[in-house]
Amino acid sequence: MEPEKLQNIRHTLAHLMAQAVKELYPNAQLTLGPAIDTGFYYDIDFGADKLSDADLPKIEKLMRKNLQNWKEFTHQEVDEAGAEKAFAGNQYKLELVKEISERGEKITLYTCGNFTDLCRGGHAENPSKDIAPDSFKLDRIAGAYWRGSEKNPMLTRIYGLAFESKPALDMHLTMLEEAKKRDHRKLGKELELFMIADEVGPGLPMFYPKGAILRRLIENYIIEEQEARGYVPIWIPHITKGKLYEISGHLSKYDAMYNPMHIDDDDYYLKPMNCPHFMMLYKSLPHSYKELPLRYTCTTTNYRYEKSGELSGLTRVRALTQDDCHVFCMPDQIENEIKLMLEMIGNAYHVFKITDFWVRISLRDSKDKSKYLGDDDVWNKAEDALRKVVKASGWKYKEAENEAAFYGPKLDFMMKDAIGREWQISTIQLDFNLPKRFELEYTSNTGTKEQPVVIHRAILGSTERFMGVLIEHLAGNFPTWLSPIQVAILPISDKHLEYSKKVAESLRASGVRVELNEDNDTLGKKIRNAKGTKVPYMLVIGDAEVNDKTITVEHRDKGKVGAQSVAEFIANITDEIKNRN
């Protein structure tokens, strides 16, 4: 099915659901109901009525009954007075009507099956024929503030799933069941990786030893890859004067900053991003064209006031650690620098088992340019540069308006995980604006002062988000090099403990992360517990192993490997770890 046709079906189902809700709950006030990637939703003010997931089947049943009478949409243009009459008593629709009128746009009402809604169009031509009754399902209920603002009333959002057919819907439902098993919040607790405590605050994760090891391994891999290519480390503080963000433009353009702290007659802010600090470090020293490109990098934590309703485990947090990099270069160096970044991203995705991804060329909104810094010439130059290098890479790409940063266009890397969900991870942003605002310069080969270009880059995006995505992508089954515990040693009884400790010492001396199970449990229980922690290797030690000075190796994925000498196993596992196999 064509994407536009499916989008129109989903939009139509939002209307169909709204009609069913109004029939069942006459006092409910409808607000907005768009189509989304997997279906649709509608935000509704139910007033004194309380709705739960248990009420969804009766709404869904009525939707299917009403669908039979939905033959075609009709529409009419009305003036503001006509629209106000149509939606009298609905404060939300009246607010929308007023805004549309103030913008000088047409006010259109669409009707189907005796139900009329404020709408711009985009529907199924004949809903009763175009929509299979078993191709949609109401999914869940959530809370949502009107217009996304916590200052506004809390509404009830009803989500629906909709696909071109029942098999497609069933496939998606199967994926959702698998997603529950892979949920990084669930696995994070079971594998003792991280936790979030009310006493600390929402969106502020803390990491247990195993989680701390995992994040260190991920970050160290990126650091190694960078420094092997000439990136140099810097360090920056976590708070800064507001003056810095006045220069950068964040105070006027960025809306996720925490309130300031007033210290020594100045306002200080928790840093929401690192770019201005990098600019100041560059500016503080004289630079020649011979130094460029200058590749500064820093793994550091930022703090952003994300709305509480949008926080989710590690994938949406208020304290996020970035593998941040800013390359200061001359215009003719842009292409080679981005190629170098693409090479690193490709290598990282291979190591982390990310095989399905594409690149979004994120452009500014061509209709509303007031949201961005810089003139047309600067933006056109930056956007064309990104197009050129992505096309040359041979990777899949799409262009998308209204996705750029306020200071420049960017490349956003979108991956599909093991069960088909899409995530945005890496980003490369081309910036001609901040160098100008910070008055950065270098001395050219002719002795003139020139302005460098800045390329912003993060491979992981943020460590926390990347960890959340990776946990779900791999279902917690990390490759050996990345596993917090690489080997579980399982002595059959206490009499095998002394030899087991010697094996553990030999492994640790070779840099292998080991956990020795000294519990007084049966071997079967020890094996089950080890498998529950998803450890890659289990070493069973009993009488035969003690007598022969061997170990019996069992692998998480391959099953029983068999008897090996300790030296042989160490050689195999250290090679596997070294090569990140």
Residues 182, 184, 326, 457: which is the catalytic one? 326
Annotated catalytic residue, options 112, 275, 325, 329: 275
Which DSSP string do the residues of 292-328 spell out, in sequence order? -SEEEEEEEEEE----GGG-BTTTB-SEEEEEEEEEE
Is-cis flag, bond preceding 293, omega within 30?
Answer: yes
Backbone phi, then psi, for 529, in 5-degree steps? -65, -40
Strand ranges (DSSP E) for 466-577?
487-491, 514-516, 537-541, 550-555, 559-565
Q: Rounded to an integer, what is the distance from CA 278 to the centroid of its chain?
A: 24
Structure tokens at 473: 């992508």
Of the residues 324, 412, 417, 431, only one is catalytic, namely 324
Q: State the catalytic residue, choosing from 215, 304, 364, 457.
A: 304
In the set 410, 465, 526, 556, the catalytic residue is: 410
**If 0-12 CB within 10 Å is exposed, 13-18 middle and 19+ buried, where does residue 573 land?**
buried
Q: Where are the alpha helices (DSSP H) in 79-208?
A: 80-86, 91-102, 127-130, 166-182, 184-190
Given 456, 496, 534, 556, the catalytic residue: 456
Spatial neighbors of 537 by CB under 8 A, at least 6 apart, are 480, 486, 487, 488, 553, 554, 555, 556, 573
Helix (H, G, I), strand (E, B), or coil: what is residue 33?
A: coil
Task: Answer yes or no: 130 catalytic.
Answer: no
- Active-site annotation holds for 410: yes
Catalytic residue among 7, 19, 29, 322: 322
CB neighbourhood size of 147 (10 A): 15
Place of tokens 């009420």: 55
Does the annotation mark 580 as catalytic?
no
Kindly state the DSSP code that residue 406 receives in the 8-state scheme. Answer: T
304 is a catalytic site residue: yes
- Beta strands 442-443 and 449-450, pairing class: antiparallel
322 flagged as catalytic: yes
Q: What positions carry a catalytic annotation?
A: 275, 304, 322, 324, 326, 410, 456
